[in-house]
Amino acid sequence: MAEAWQRERRFVDGVAHELRTPITVISGHAQTLHAEVPAERKAKVALIAAEAERLGELVKVMLDLARSDAGRLSLALESLDPELLLVNVFERLQTLAPGRLRLATPGEIAIPQINADPERVQQCLVALVDNALKFSEGPVQLAVSASPDAVTLHVRDQGPGIPEDERSQVLQRFVRGSTAIGTRGSGIGLATVNLLMQAMDGDLMIDDAPGGGADMQLRFKPSVRPPAP
């Protein structure tokens, strides 16, 4: 059993590595073609580019899962400003859903810094925002809050939410909740976010958003508290 598990992990790792180059080539040529083809064909080329990007994200997730299983998941931890992290993600993603993605107004309480990998935190936030946009139709809000023992990054939507008795299950690989029925997905997005958060000594929590919907929370231990204004 142990030997079979090792072979499976090596297979997934190897396949993911081999897929990265052709996907990158397809994506690059699709972007070039989009600027060259007649207007009536641009939609088809845009679909190719979008699907290539989706494949690239799936390969990235496969690599993370394989590396985690093999104990080779790499992190570059540093002291980060949570509010600046949210601003960066907001600016990066707002063009995907103009008018839907919103950034909460900063509160008056100073937010402590967190010790985390900036690339991995952004990866987690992007995955959560993508889910929120996919499974809801209203606004999706990014927010940050702090308590004496935690700094929490929130991704809140106004969708159907996740039933309480399914919340631990949807963090497992290849498991999708009942509210995801009828939508496309692999069932590994939340599992990967959960894995990355655990690697950064944090937690992925699922709660109800005010007024209905899901409140997906990335919780970190505070590190350095900013100076008082």
Alpha helices in 79-117 (DSSP H): 82-93
CB 220 within 8 A of CB 124: no
Give residue 141's pLDDT.
96
Give residue 108's pLDDT.
80
Q: Of 14-18, 127-131, 179-183, which gets the smallest average pLDDT?
A: 179-183
Rounded to two decimals, the pTM is 0.75
For the chain, strand residue ranges (E) read: 78-80, 101-103, 114-116, 140-147, 150-156, 203-208, 214-220
Instruction: Give the single-character DSSP code of 135.
Output: H
Side chain identity, residue 30: A
Query: How many CA atoms are closer than 13 Å to the CA of 9, on its beta-carbon side?
Result: 15
Q: Output the average pLDDT for the chain.
A: 83
* Helices 118-135 and 189-199, packing angle to 10 deg: 150
**Burial (Cβ within 10 Å: 0-12, 13-18, ≥19) of residue 116:** buried
Domain coordinates in residue numbering, the chain: 2-69, 78-220
CB 120 within 8 A of CB 204: no
CA 10 to chain centre: 25
Q: Please list, in sequence order, all residues whose beta carbon lies within 8 angstroms of the beta carbon of residue 186, skipping any fewer than 6 positions away.
A: 58, 61, 174
Side chain identity, residue 7: R
Give residue 5's pLDDT.
59
| Structure-model confidence comparison of residues 50 and 126, the more confident one | 126
* Arithmetic mean of pLDDT, 124-129: 92
Instruction: Provide CATH code, domain 78-220.
Output: 3.30.565.10
Residue 160: in which H helix or E strand, if any? none
Give residue 16's pLDDT.
67
**213 pLDDT tier (thresholds 50, 70, 90):** very high
pLDDT(47) > 90: no
CB 144 within 8 A of CB 151: yes
Most confident region among 5-14, 23-32, 120-129 by mean pLDDT:
120-129
pLDDT(3) > 80: no
Model confidence pLDDT, tens digit, residues 187-204: 678 988 998 999 999 999
CA-to-CA distance for 133 and 102, rounded, in angstroms? Answer: 12
3-state secondary structure of 139: coil
